[in-house]
Structure 1
């Protein structure tokens, strides 16, 4: 999923799909949308996208920000220098640069530099398998969460409906920086710096470009290659369709397990972070949340992580439980307790569990429980418990 100057194949088969109506008509300058903006990711005809070249003018745009306002190029007319960074939520490289981008705003805001971030990705082109380094996908609603929780100090704009701005600028990866002078001619395009890991770089390439333009000098290195996750163009969603079809066609199995087997699951002698969910076909909250847990499995299964489901249905209901799992494409390790004695099940699982379903635990190798939830999980909280665990992490 990483590239230099052109998109390349993902390291794993590559989150979330959303659909809502787009805003009608052009908004007034920086006007808050009445009733709030509602995203509407659409199919877009395939096209060749060229990256803007040095010396070319900045294309105009009219995009919604996470603050509910629409932004246009003219909103930044007073800035001596304008930096536009194409970034996103899901990409580990993009996440690695978030704090550096915020520091640029702090260091250069009073010097006359404006910085705006744009997410170019279409949510319909993103698979759960591509979200193994994140708690959030690239929908507009998830962008608002990221900006809020990470205290973004810059406009964060959504271009996932039709790529109206992105196809004009031509970002090949996230993050991809474009820096314009006071006449809004492109003077720098490329990476933020050459050291992805947080704490090892200081946005040197971007800072050098900003310093040069503020001092009315030519940028010494006006163009660099960029390294990150390929832009998720809507017309490339055929890959997502193929992967989802293959997933839906994969076989699902259900094995019986006894108390000793359950204790072994909780002991976790594996080298993976293990998520265990107890559920039953007669449990309404269980069957409602279960598809989302399968999505969590798909997100993190390429990492040091595994999801195991354990049905509390009676053994006589095994066929019914299997049918449910097949309908939900539960392509993972699925077990059903082999006795009707539910109190034996409770004792085998966890002394802190009182028997109410659903029940979910996250267990480290060696058996330490680092997350437990009786009742439906908060999905964002669960995903953060996984991705922020030292065994997983948000960066390469």
Structure 2
């Protein structure tokens, strides 16, 4: 009986590790994709080829963690939009209500719906919010950072490590981020 528990535990740990390492890896090129926005407009990753960086944010309007990060993401967008950075929000969650929070809907962020969760699975996103920093290069997009926005989702003023901000600073100056991956904290993305 102990062997069955041990085998089950090892299997669960293996599956968890595979889920954490799935998707694009740092330095890989990201496949082009297009999605519909909440206003039924098509947006494509290629639309942002002229940017210095693209931040793909997988989020869910109903996730408390995503709600805690809304203001911080808006601040980062305000700070970096003039520096050539484009933010793209993607809703990967299964929901009967695909509405967006008022603060995101009122912002300048493109907000797309990943209806069949194909894009979130390609990226390997497991949480909301989870960010992926892409660097456009000659018509392609290379992954430079993935994971957490910072080290304190609950209290913005207590965050000591602004992972996303640091990654953006590095990418827009054509440097490699010192930290390229940090595990995101948030709501689990439920899969079909």
TM-score for both structures, normalised by structure 1: 0.41
Offset from partner CA, 1:293-333 (integer Å, 9 cap, x none): xxxxxxxxxxxxxxxxxxxxxxxxxxxxxxxxxxxxxxxxx
Secondary structure, counterpart of 1:197 in structure 2: coil
Q: State the distance in 2 between where 1:188 and 1:149 align.
A: 23
Q: State the distance in 1 between where 2:150 and 2:21 align.
A: 24
Q: What is aligned with 1:66?
A: 38
Q: What is aligned with 1:89?
A: 61
Secondary structure, counterpart of 1:212 in structure 2: helix
- Residues 1:152 and 2:107 are matched in the alignment: yes
Q: State the distance in 2 between where 1:213 and 1:122 align.
A: 32
Q: State the distance in 1 between where 2:131 and 2:30 align.
A: 13
Q: What is aligned with 2:6?
A: none
RMSD value, Cα:
2.4
Is the CA contact 2:148–2:164 (under 8 Å) kept in the aligned structure 1? yes
Q: What is aligned with 1:174?
A: 128
Cα shift at 1:67: 3.0
Gaps of 5+ in 2: 1-14
Q: Which has the higher strand share?
A: 2
Secondary structure, counterpart of 1:102 in structure 2: helix
Match of 2:167 among 209, 226, 230: 209
Cα shift at 1:207: 0.5
Counterparts in 2 of 1:13-28, with a 5 A limit?
none
- Residues 1:118 and 2:90 are matched in the alignment: yes
Cα shift at 1:198: 4.2
Q: Which runs of 4+ in 1 moved over 3 A?
A: 147-150
Looking at CA atoms only, which structure, 1 or 2, has the larger radius of gyration? 1
Q: State the distance in 2 between where 1:169 and 1:217 align.
A: 22
Q: What is aligned with 1:165?
A: 119
Q: Name the count of aligned residue pairs.
A: 172
Q: State the distance in 2 between where 1:211 and 1:65 align.
A: 28
Gaps of 5+ in 1: 1-5, 8-46, 124-137, 235-396
